Amino acid sequence: MFAYAIRRILATIPVMAIVALFVFSLLYLAPGDPAAIIAGDQATPADVDRIRISLGLDRPFLIRFGEWAWQVLNGDLGVSIFTNLPVTHMISQRIEPTLSLMSLTLIFSISFAIPMGVLAAWKQGAWIDRVVMVVAVLGFSVPVFVVGYILAYAFALQLDWFPVQGYTPISVGILPWFQNLALPSLALGLAFIALLARITRATMLEVLSQDYVRTAKAKGVDQRAILFVHALKNAAVPIVTIIGIGFAGLIGGAVVTESVFAIPGVGRLVVDAILRRDYPVIQGVVLMFSFVYVLVNLAVDLLYTLFDPRIRY
Amino acid sequence: MALLEVENLQTHFATLDGVVRAVEGLSFKIDAGETVAIVGESGCGKSVTSMSILRLIQEPPGKIAGKINFRGRNLLDLPDVEMRKIRGKDISMIFQEPMTSLNPVLTVGRQIGETVRLHEGLTAQEAEKRGIEMLGLVGIPAPERRVKEYPHQLSGGMRQRVMIAMALACNPKLLIADEPTTALDVTIQAQILDLMRDLKTRVGAAIMLITHDLGVVAEMAERVVVMYAGRKVEEATAVQIFGNPQHPYTRGLLGAVPKLGSSLQGHGRTKLTEIQGQVPSLRQRIVGCAFASRCPIVTDVCRQVAPAVEAKTPGHYVACHYAERAVAA
Ligand SMILES: Nc1ncnc2c1ncn2[C@@H]1O[C@H](COP(=O)(O)OP(=O)(O)OP(=O)(O)O)[C@@H](O)[C@H]1O
Ligand SMILES: [Mg+2]
């Protein structure tokens, strides 16, 4: 198990290298002269030259990539073209709201979706199952920003239960932090909840028809333990897999959610950076999100061995 | 009073194309400590009968009617909570498929321990100790190590031993074994049967043994119930069934009659022989004798009037209009 973890961690290195290469070449994949693109429409030829030199565009691609990669490994993501601040600094200023949003969304999603899916599978065909399935279909087909506006309208504007927008740091207090994030997390999580509930239901249905569930019943095990001990642990691998895969969607959704609810997070940062063609910032943020995604899926892989003793590497 | 008294059991399933009458008016008894074999072709309702006794039939689509008196209480009237206290404690069950009947993600010790923790309120440590004890009892070597292993680390024979250990952990009064050896190879089969016989005398449990294998019946059972299309067609002691079968269906099954007590590994080993013709559909109400369409001595009466189960000699019940003639034939 330990050896496997080490091997699996080492295996993420080439993955990250490829991601880095891709992120770096983002700038050069765009058509036209990168320096001219960055400089924008109003730039003079002198501006463009200055930018070209400052980016080192006059030197070969691989050398530039090597230099950039070396910097990144040393924790230097470069300097924003727009603000002249280090990209790491800009990200670290914005990371808390985004991490908070994603964590709360994950917690919401898992704690709603899994019981929902388990319940629906247990009561297959009953009204509760239908309700869950309808919610699942709706949740999956309505885009984040629509859900976001509906939630904000109903619970913030009409009922006044939550603030409409903004963010309160956790250091100010857990409650205001939570109140600010509750609606955004729900909006962002809805599609995820829908997906997760469906997968949980389908997997549980399959597991509940297995012989060992009948054995458990024949032993006198009660329904709750059958569902949550005997069955859910067997359903865990597909569920955890979907959590890992769904996480990518969560990253994209976070960018939209931050815009809808005016949360000053990394998502907003990257949107602004794209509008200003602030490539170092874009690269830094994309690289960071990729890294988080790789980490999450590493965690998923390691969790497999915890849930299913048959999985050995 | 018998330990288990099944009276006019009817288990039906509502399906999209009609009601399947899997068990139709079945009655039999099992006394304390007795081994009763239930035999019959595939689909005659043996498993449904055993699942009905423990109320493991999903309702709906299933529906169980009749009476299942266990130590004087009708199990069909018990609330779920009471029924759970009986499952695994007073009545336990071994299934046909040892490869899939154990939970793959829980250790063997945990699965055996769960039963005793549920029914005897043992702590986790006590339960593990009992688990080790039970594994030793069913002849698994190095039980201290095995108790921490998962089912996939065990062979089929070992898994069935674990199932037996689990089933006997709370000293049940009745053990229902649904084809416990069918999925195992012959030498392992013999070992498992020996084990069951041995443990039966030790624990004093009655056994309801469901099987296709007449060799197993000859070796294990004191009494035999022969089922056909969800009904009992004959019931007698094993000696009577093998020596003096009355129902034409039983005679067909016995085709080549094994000698009572013939060894499993020997040549006396016999599977149920094929009988010509088709089992009637369980989706229609059967008029007359259920076996009429395949019976070699069928007459018009058989097609119109269902024969009642009657005692031909004391303790020997047959449902056939021509039971005596069958003897003479
Ligand atoms: N859930 C169900 N829905 C509909 N029909 C069912 C259901 N369960 C069992 N049956 C039907 O009941 C009949 C009896 O099945 P059962 O499993 O008891 O047979 P069996 O005697 O155990 O056969 P085998 O020797 O093959 O195990 C079969 O015709 C089967 O199709
Ligand atoms: Mg069966």
**Which of B84, B92, B100 is closest, CB to CB, to A212?**
B100
Tell me the Ramachandran region of residue A207: left when phi exceeds 0, alpha when psi lies from -120 to 50, beta otherwise. alpha
Tell me the per-residue pLDDT of A137-160, one tens digit each, with 9 for 90 and over: 888 888 888 888 888 888 888 888
The owner of tokens 């959590």 is: A243
For every residue of B108-165, DSSP letters joined together read HHHHHHHHHHHHH---HHHHHHHHHHHHHHTT-SSHHHHTTS-GGGS-HHHHHHHHHH
Q: Are strands B35-39 and B223-228 parallel, antiparallel or unpaired?
A: parallel
Q: How far is CA A229 from the centre of its chain?
A: 29
Please, which pLDDT band fits residue A266 given cuts at 50, 70 and 90? very high
Please, which pLDDT band fits residue B226 given cuts at 50, 70 and 90? very high
- From B22's Cα to the closest Cα of chain A, the distance in A is 19
Fill in the DSSP letter of residue A153.
Answer: I
Q: Which residue has the higher pLDDT, A264 or B285?
A: A264
**Which of A211, A214, A220 is closest, CB to CB, to B84?**
A220
A86 strand-pairing partners: A79
Decide if pLDDT at B128 tops 60.
yes
Q: What is the pLDDT of residue B265?
A: 44
Decide if pLDDT at B270 tops 60.
no
**Residue type at A211 in one-letter notation:** D
- The residue of chain B with its CA nearest to that of A231 is B103
Mean pLDDT of B133-149: 89
Closest CA to B43 of B229, B295, B184: B229
Rounded to 5°, angle at Cα B289 from B286 and B293 = 85
Which of B 60-119 lie inside 8 A of A, CB atoms? 84-89, 92-93, 95, 97, 100-106, 114-115, 118-119
Identify all chain A residues contacting B120, using CB atoms and an 8 Å cutoff: none
Identify all chain A residues contacting B119, using CB atoms and an 8 Å cutoff: 220
Q: How far apart are CA A287 and CA A16, in angstroms?
A: 9
Mean pLDDT of B260-279: 56
Q: Which residue has the higher pLDDT, B40 or B258?
A: B40
Decide if pLDDT at B326 tops 80.
no
Q: ipTM, 2 decimals? A: 0.84
Q: How far apart are CA A11 and CA A5, in angstroms?
A: 10
Decide if pLDDT at B260 tops 70.
no
**Ligand 1: does its nearest atom lie under 6 Å from the Cβ of B228?**
no
Q: What is the pTM of this model?
A: 0.82
Residue nearest to atom 7 of ligand 1 (CA): B13
**Ligand 1: does its nearest atom lie under 6 Å from the Cβ of B20?**
yes
Please, which pLDDT band fits residue B55 given cuts at 50, 70 and 90? very high
Please, which pLDDT band fits residue B328 given cuts at 50, 70 and 90? very low
Closest CA to A118 of A224, A195, A212: A224
Which of A 178-207 lie inside 8 A of B, CB atoms? none
Mean pLDDT of A2-10: 84
Residue nearest to atom 31 of ligand 1 (CA): B43
Please, which pLDDT band fits residue B274 given cuts at 50, 70 and 90? low
Q: What is the pLDDT of residue A200?
A: 94
Q: What is the pLDDT of residue A31?
A: 64
Q: What is the pLDDT of residue B273?
A: 56
Q: Which of B47, B49, B181 has the most ligand 1 atoms within 8 A of CB, as the residue to mutate?
A: B47
Please, which pLDDT band fits residue A227 given cuts at 50, 70 and 90? very high
Q: What is the pLDDT of residue A125?
A: 84
Could you state, in order of their start, the residue ranges of all structural domains in chain B? Answer: 4-221, 231-258+273-328
Decide if pLDDT at B47 tops 70.
yes
Do A87 and A80 touch, CB atoms closer than 8 A? Answer: yes
CATH topology of domain B4-221: Rossmann fold (3.40.50)
Locate B185 and state its tokens. 């190879």
Closest CA to B190 of B95, B139, B264: B264
Decide if pLDDT at B68 tops 60.
yes
Q: How many CB atoms lie within 10 A of CB B43?
A: 13
Q: How far apart are CA B39 and CA B214, in angstroms?
A: 8
Residue nearest to atom 10 of ligand 1 (CA): B22
What is the average pLDDT value for chain B, to the nearest integer? 86
Tell me the per-residue pLDDT of B104-125, one tens digit each, with 9 for 90 and over: 999 999 999 999 998 998 888 8
Tell me the per-residue pLDDT of A71-114, one tens digit each, with 9 for 90 and over: 888 888 888 888 889 999 999 999 999 999 999 999 999 999 99
Phi/psi at A257 (5° precision): -60, -40
The owner of tokens 């993420």 is: A12
Do B94 and B177 touch, CB atoms closer than 8 A? Answer: yes
Mean pLDDT of B131-153: 89
Q: How far apart are CA A310 and CA B150, in angstroms?
A: 8
What is the average pLDDT value for chain A, to the nearest integer? 87
Q: How many residues does chain B have?
A: 329
Locate A312 and state its tokens. 């050995």
State the DSSP H helix or E strand holding residue B223, giving kind and residue range, or none if neither: strand B223-228
Q: Cβ separation of B103 and A222 shorter than 8 Å? A: no
Among A136-145, A173-182, A239-248, B143-152, the range scoring the smallest mean pLDDT is A136-145
Mean pLDDT of B42-51: 92
**Ligand 1: does its nearest atom lie under 6 Å from the Cβ of B13?**
yes
B15 strand-pairing partners: B18
